[in-house]
Amino acid sequence: MAVLSLGDHMNEMLLFLHYIGFAITIGAALYDRVYIVRNIRRAKGTRLERDLIRIYLSTGPLFSIGVGFILVSGIGLTLINDEGFFRRSTVGLKQTLFLAIGLMFPLYIMPIMRQINRLLTAVPDGNASVSDQCHSLLARLYPMLDAVTIANIVILAIAVWHPAFQ
Ligand code: HEM
């Protein structure tokens, strides 16, 4: 029977949290992209459209919880395995991509989300129509969030296949 040290248990525990974080993040992102966005498009011009956009924007906190799990467990795994930060390695590549995604949020994604929220709140509840400005902000937001989802999947592929570094 294999005898596991405290370090091994810690490693397993952190990996478990790492996977949970990824599952939450990718689950929330795909649900939003596949179901909510499709229904926002179908509901164009109706009162439902505004409500669905609000629901779409409200996934933020769940997404942040997933990212928080990945980040905290990832830093723990990096320290336990003595991998270092931003080195020329699989983990370094993952950290760099993750940082790039992370920076997109305060720089581009969150300001757009805040603007959309402001536009939605500015219109009285009885008025069903979502403004053209709001539509064009959404049209900018979708590809950015798609890029984040694709980058997350690329990071998963890197973690699983460990590309060789010279
Ligand atoms: C979407 C983001 C991420 C995904 C999908 C992901 C996925 C994974 C997976 C699947 C493993 C297990 C690999 C194996 O057992 O062979 C792993 C391990 C690890 N991850 Fe992540 N990870 C992500 C982000 C991060 C971040 C941001 C860090 C550091 C801050 C990090 C640090 C590590 C470390 C140190 C290990 C253990 C060593 C290794 O397997 O190379 N990960 N990750």
Q: How far is the CA of 159 from the centre of ligand 1 (A)?
A: 6
Distance between Cα 93 and ligand 1 center (Å): 10
* pLDDT tens track for 142-159: 999 999 999 999 999 999
Q: State how far the Cα of 129 lies from the Cα of 46, in Å rounded to an integer.
A: 6
pTM: 0.92
CB 128 within 8 A of CB 47: yes
Q: What is the DSSP letter of 19?
A: H
Ligand 1: residue whose CA is nearest its atom 16: 160
**Measuring from atom 31 of ligand 1, which residue has the nearest CA?**
74
What confidence tens digit (pLDDT) does each residue in 53-75 have? Answer: 999 999 999 999 999 999 999 99
Write out the H or E segment, with its range, that includes residue 63.
helix 60-80
Q: Cα(1) to centroid of ligand 1, in Å?
A: 27
Instruction: Determine the distance separating the centroid of ligand 1 and the alpha carbon of 110, expressed in angstroms.
Output: 25
